[in-house]
Chain A
Amino acid sequence: MDEILTYAQAEPAGTVAYAEAGGLLSSVWLLVAIPLVSAAILLLLGRRADRWGHWLGVAAIGAAFVLGLSYFFQLRGLENKSVELSLWDFITVGDLRVDFGLLFDPLAAVFVLLITGVGFLIHLYAVEYMAHDEGRRRFFAYFNLFVAAMLLLVLGNNYVMLYFGWEGVGLASYLLISFWYGRPSAATAGKKAFLMNRVGDAGLAIGIFIMFATLGTTQYDEVFNGVGALAGGTVLVLGLLLLLGAAGKSGQFPLQAWLPDAMEGPTPVSALIHAATMVTAGVYLIARSNPVFSANSTLQLVVVSVGAITLLMGCLIGAAKDDIKRVLAWSTVSQIGYMFLGVGLGGAAYALAIVHLLAHGFFKANMFLGAGSVMHGMNDQVDIRRFGGLSKYMKVTWITFMMGWLAIIGMFPFSGFFSKEPIIVAAFEREGWTAWLFGGAALLGAGLTAFYMTRLFVLTFHGPKRWTEDIEHPHESPKLMTIPLILLAIGSVGAGFLLATSVPDWLTATAGLGAQEEGHEAVLSHTVITVLSLLVTVLGAGLAWMLFRNGTATAPQPAGVLVTAARRNLYTDAFNEAVFEKPGIFLTRALVFIDNRGVDGLVNGLAAAVGGGSGRLRRLQTGFVRSYATSILTGALLVVAAFLAVQAGWLA
């Protein structure tokens, strides 16, 4: 007995340990199972479920929300606020063991509440939004599938489980973006999202394999406890690979291009997947892996830089776009940049990033659904140059959108103020000149955000009408659409204060997130930063109001270098095309060529050169088996030569 006690004491402080799940919490798997079963029912029953299928989908998410809430309260009463539920041994090969298990801790709990809570409202909204679409049942099936995968992602107790969810949400997102497959742009966007996500996924997968190779496990607790013993270089590579995965999923630099294109999907999809939940999976990954990221300061610097670059890039491009959903999409890119900035700063800023994530989930979903409501009333028009003066016609949409707008630009006392301003303060708390660099970027971003969001808001709801001829009287959306809007707007207003005061404390119980770092003295005092950030916000918003209160031209205007660059996504698409797409296409063509004709052609070329005469060349090209045999012979010669070369090296 004594020995065991000594052993327990010998464990270093800060060791991550999870308690066994008991009582009500042992049924935590229901959270994933309920939406999954509902999705399966909707897909398998086919047309028979067309009439009531959407309500099943809504009910499943509602049930998951209620369950999530009760687990949440259950967790509050526990001493060790992290419980683990191991369902079964998933894979055991040699020394590798992967557990099929779930982890419910404060970090997972807030994500569960966000996913099911906001998800429920968006499901409700979609019942009406998709009412005239004959694929509505299928839509809800994919939607439920997405929620199940997302819950698995945040509830897994090891990186392989996270990867399951990761692939699952990617798949569901792909299906939902391409949902309106009739539009070629939707199909292309789906493909783009898929490909860019694969780049990120490959990073994550290799990162997980590196954990296996170096630590022999992927369980969160074992990885976090073991990461301290790893070499600095290994941690750096591991962290960069995880960051690549996170950047792919969250639309961060340099993998940001897919997210705005993903807006081709139905609006509720944009609201749920591409604003509130899935795109924040990258932030979750980094917050969850905080012991890895905190272990290496270079890594943190990279994360902070990615966040800062993305947030400025998103603001600049967002200011030049005219499509309401794309402006919102670039603003999502930019706001997630803030979250990356937060998680990259480390220490107490982890919690701040999560707070901003939650607040963002509310106000961005609110604005996306508002945009959907505007489109609903305007014959699916998305061009903000063709709106104007809608505040008179769509009162509820207008007011709720206004709440979202004030929240995102960080106006006191809306939620964005409580969530974004602390991140700016934290950025100023870095050491030396980087404090000025990143703090300045965050501050500039706040001003730009105020500018382009105000532009969006004013051009849509105020100023002269610039509608297309076919619209006479825009109508407000039906109740089922406005009620979720109102609830989300209340969240945008009220949630900020609540979140900023309670969530950070609550999150300290999550492994690693409570580790407070030695605070540096901020280069500017807190009050000065607060005043400055409010000031740039007011300046940005005021400038936009001045410029756009009288409307804008309905056709693209000639513009300077910066605006043109921003309209073209700062030339990142052109860059991707030149660097990745062209070589990829070339490689494929070259391989196809070699496979079909290459070896044959080479031999034929020789034959033609020796014997002359094109007739002979043509005659030779008919024999395929011979060319296959030639290819095999070439390969055989190469393999033998390689073996002999190895052997020669061995002798030397």
Chain B
Amino acid sequence: MTELKLPSIDYAALAPILIMLGAALLGVLVEAFVPRRRRHLVQLSLALAAVLAALVMVVRGAGDRLITIGGAIAIDGPALFLQGAILVLAAMSLLLIGERSVERGGAFVAQAAVTAESADDRRQAEGKNGATEVYPLTTFAIGGMLIFVAANDLLTMFIALEVFSLPLYLLCALARRRRLLSQEAAMKYFLLGAYASAFFLFGVALVYGFTAGIPGRAAGVDFATVHAAVKESPASPVLLFAGMALLAIGLLFKAAAAPFHVWTPDVYQGAPTPVTSFMAACTKVAAFGALLRVFHVAFADAAWDFTPVLGVVAVLTMLVGAVLAVTQTDIKRLLAYSSIANAGYLLVGVLAPSGAGISGTMFYLAAYGFSVLAAFAVVTLVRDADGEATHLSRWAGLGRRSPFYAGIFTFILLAFAGIPLTSGFTSKFAVFGPALEAGHAWLVVAGVLTSMVLAFPYLRVVVMMWLSEPGESTPTVTVPGGLTATALMIGVVATLVLGVVPAPLLDLATDAAAFVR
């Protein structure tokens, strides 16, 4: 008779995750029991309070370096840093999601099941209050991301992937206007996301097969076992490499790396802009957090083998993002391609096999998140009678109409272009430096060259805003409500501060740059 052994659980270390998931469940109850009028306020406060509480718990546990709940979750430096980043960025996204004064009723549809282009649809677009289900969905997604970056085995990672992906698919379909585009985006994202998940799962199975037969160890998909297997498994390495490739594909899909980026422009364009900003900031952090963990913890000893392949993926990603950004005519698609190119730069950091590579990537993720949130916050403000005016030609002459917001957007674009004294410069520096130390000069050269190309579409927008006469169709910038203004200001100030005095956050990332295994 073997005694049943319960895994020990460190509740304090898991608190951020538990808080988010608990708040999400509570949110579902709120939907059922709180009167409709008050739901928006209650849900928004609940979600924000949960995020803040989780953040407090992350900060309190800043020194934790442990593996808990039977080896499923690792709370270590990178996990805590990335959880913190996700929570801060998620709080900003929630502010954007909760905004209701820019557009009457908010950016979300009142009833998602309404037929697009029907009379009902037109009525709801006129200012019915948006669905409040978005808050529990977002909170679930945040919870999933927190698990994703801390998962210590491949199955937990897969479940976390689904936990944060499913709400995102739904959220994409909830735009108040351009319903067809929004639903199409959600459908595409769902189908392709499911497709990518299948790759991931198949990869898990192959890796599991590979771990069988190590002397003195049971087969398993926790990272310690995989790590040991890479060193001494007698199984055929074909299993390992095929498995590693498929795992990478599943993660690269979420990270929007070429050639798995194809969904990004359509989904970014179709989703409600606050959701787009949430995806661009938080999903990116989560996806790269997982990539860091998988490749630095589980497969670290195979670095010699995966670096060339992922390096080519990185170069391709930068190239596709930068070159295609040049021809875009829609601001959301332009930002989507820019986010693809940034995924390429982040991969350069992931591939640098050192603590500096990890800290540089984490710094980049945080810095990029702030900037991209601010950029999308401005996009939500530039609008006409039909909602957001996202076609670039409509932005011509915006600098004359609203110099302040055009100035802010210019600053953000310059940051994306990597102009010094913005976080865009320091973060590129932080990932390219370690890559060079590791001898990946070809990646850095590709990075520098593509970022030069990428600067061009950004500056084209800048010139269009400032150096064109406003036309009759130039939209005005809506005065933002307090929520959007707060999120926007946090993003802009962070972009500036991280560009001028990046040292504190870099130090924090450096201190946090060690995984536990």
Determine if A643 and B327 form an interchain contact, defined as CB atoms under 8 angstroms apart: no
Determine if B356 and A94 form an interchain contact, defined as CB atoms under 8 angstroms apart: yes
CA separation between A590 and B31, bound complex, in Å? Answer: 50
Contact with A along B488-507 (1 / 0, CB 8 A): 00000000000001110011
Residues of B within 8 A of A175 (CB): 466
CA separation between A206 and B445, bound complex, in Å? Answer: 6
Determine if A93 and B359 form an interchain contact, defined as CB atoms under 8 angstroms apart: yes
Interface core residue of A167, A194, A587 (most chain B CB under 10 Å): A167
- Contact residues of B: prevailing secondary structure: helix
Q: Select A592's contact among B324, B453, B506, beta carbons within 8 Å.
A: B324
CA separation between A162 and B148, bound complex, in Å? Answer: 41
Residues of A within 8 A of B405 (CB): none
Residues of A within 8 A of B199 (CB): 636
The distance from the CB of B231 to the nearest CB of chain A, in whole angstroms, is 14
Residues of A within 8 A of B414 (CB): 171
Residues of A within 8 A of B449 (CB): 202
Determine if B262 and A92 form an interchain contact, defined as CB atoms under 8 angstroms apart: no
Known: A174-B459, A202-B449, A592-B324. Contact between A93 and B510, CB under 8 A?
A: yes
Known: A167-B419, A624-B188, A635-B260. Contact between A646 and B308, CB under 8 A?
A: yes
Residue of B nearest to A640 (CB): B245
The interface-forming segment of B56-64, B135-143, B436-444 is: B436-444
Residue of B nearest to A138 (CB): B466
Residues of B within 8 A of A628 (CB): 188, 192, 262-263
- B164 contacts the other chain (Cβ, under 8 Å)? no
- A651 contacts the other chain (Cβ, under 8 Å)? yes
Known: A642-B309, A642-B312, A646-B309. Contact between A187 and B320, CB under 8 A?
A: no
Determine if B507 and A92 form an interchain contact, defined as CB atoms under 8 angstroms apart: yes
Determine if B445 and A178 form an interchain contact, defined as CB atoms under 8 angstroms apart: no
The distance from the CB of A421 to the nearest CB of chain B, in whole angstroms, is 40
Determine if B448 and A640 form an interchain contact, defined as CB atoms under 8 angstroms apart: no
Q: Select A198's contact among B242, B320, B324, B452, beta carbons within 8 Å.
A: B452
CA separation between A379 and B112, bound complex, in Å? Answer: 64
Determine if B259 and A634 form an interchain contact, defined as CB atoms under 8 angstroms apart: yes
Q: Count B interface residues, CB 8 Å.
A: 77
- B421 contacts the other chain (Cβ, under 8 Å)? yes
Known: A93-B429, A588-B323. Contact between A187 and B463, CB under 8 A?
A: yes
- A181 contacts the other chain (Cβ, under 8 Å)? yes
Interface core residue of B238, B312, B323, B449 (most chain A CB under 10 Å): B323
- B354 contacts the other chain (Cβ, under 8 Å)? yes
CA separation between A94 and B438, bound complex, in Å? Answer: 12
Q: Select B326's contact among A181, A588, A624, beta carbons within 8 Å.
A: A588
Q: Select B259's contact among A164, A187, A631, beta carbons within 8 Å.
A: A631
Residues of B within 8 A of A629 (CB): 191-192, 195
Determine if B237 and A647 form an interchain contact, defined as CB atoms under 8 angstroms apart: yes
Residues of B within 8 A of A212 (CB): 433, 436-437
Q: Select A643's contact among B192, B306, B426, B502, beta carbons within 8 Å.
A: B306
Q: Which of A67-96 contact B (CB under 8 A)?
A: 88-96
- A644 contacts the other chain (Cβ, under 8 Å)? yes
Interface core residue of A94, A199, A629, A638 (most chain B CB under 10 Å): A94
Determine if A95 and B437 form an interchain contact, defined as CB atoms under 8 angstroms apart: yes
Q: Which of A578-636 contact B (CB under 8 A)?
A: 587-588, 591-592, 595, 624-625, 628-629, 631-632, 634-636
Contact with B along A179-209 (1 / 0, CB 8 A): 1010000010010001100110110011001
Residue of B nearest to A591 (CB): B323
Residues of B within 8 A of A205 (CB): 448
Interface core residue of B237, B360, B429, B444 (most chain A CB under 10 Å): B429
- B145 contacts the other chain (Cβ, under 8 Å)? no
Determine if B452 and A625 form an interchain contact, defined as CB atoms under 8 angstroms apart: no
- A547 contacts the other chain (Cβ, under 8 Å)? no
The interface-forming segment of B19-27, B246-254, B281-289, B386-394 is: B246-254
Residues of A within 8 A of B312 (CB): 642
Known: A213-B441, A644-B241. Contact between A636 and B246, CB under 8 A?
A: yes
CA separation between A638 and B259, bound complex, in Å? Answer: 10
- A163 contacts the other chain (Cβ, under 8 Å)? yes
Interface core residue of B327, B456, B467 (most chain A CB under 10 Å): B467
The distance from the CB of A233 to the nearest CB of chain B, in whole angstroms, is 13
Q: Which of A207-229 contact B (CB under 8 A)?
A: 209-210, 212-213
Q: Select B324's contact among A89, A595, A632, beta carbons within 8 Å.
A: A595
Q: Select B192's contact among A209, A625, A634, A646, beta carbons within 8 Å.
A: A625
Known: A89-B503, A209-B436, A643-B242. Contact between A202 and B448, CB under 8 A?
A: yes
- A254 contacts the other chain (Cβ, under 8 Å)? no
Determine if B502 and A90 form an interchain contact, defined as CB atoms under 8 angstroms apart: yes
Determine if A587 and B323 form an interchain contact, defined as CB atoms under 8 angstroms apart: yes
CA separation between A646 and B191, bound complex, in Å? Answer: 31
Determine if B195 and A646 form an interchain contact, defined as CB atoms under 8 angstroms apart: no
Contact with A along B258-270 (1 / 0, CB 8 A): 1110110010000
CB within 8 Å of A: which residues of B?
187-188, 191-192, 195-196, 199, 237-238, 240-242, 244-246, 248-249, 253, 258-260, 262-263, 266, 304-306, 308-309, 312-313, 319-320, 323-324, 326-327, 354-356, 359-360, 363, 403, 407, 414, 419-421, 426, 429-430, 432-434, 436-437, 441, 444-445, 448-449, 452-453, 455-456, 459, 463, 466-468, 501-503, 506-507, 510
13 A-B residue pairs with CB within 8 Å: A91-B429, A92-B507, A94-B433, A94-B510, A163-B420, A164-B421, A181-B467, A209-B436, A588-B323, A628-B262, A636-B245, A643-B242, A646-B308
Task: State the 6 A-B residue pairs at the shortest beta-carbon distance, nearest first.
Answer: A94-B356, A635-B259, A181-B467, A164-B420, A643-B245, A213-B436
CB within 8 Å of B: which residues of A?
43, 46, 88-96, 98, 160, 163-164, 167-168, 171, 174-175, 178-179, 181, 187, 190, 194-195, 198-199, 201-202, 205-206, 209-210, 212-213, 587-588, 591-592, 595, 624-625, 628-629, 631-632, 634-636, 638-640, 642-644, 646-647, 650-651
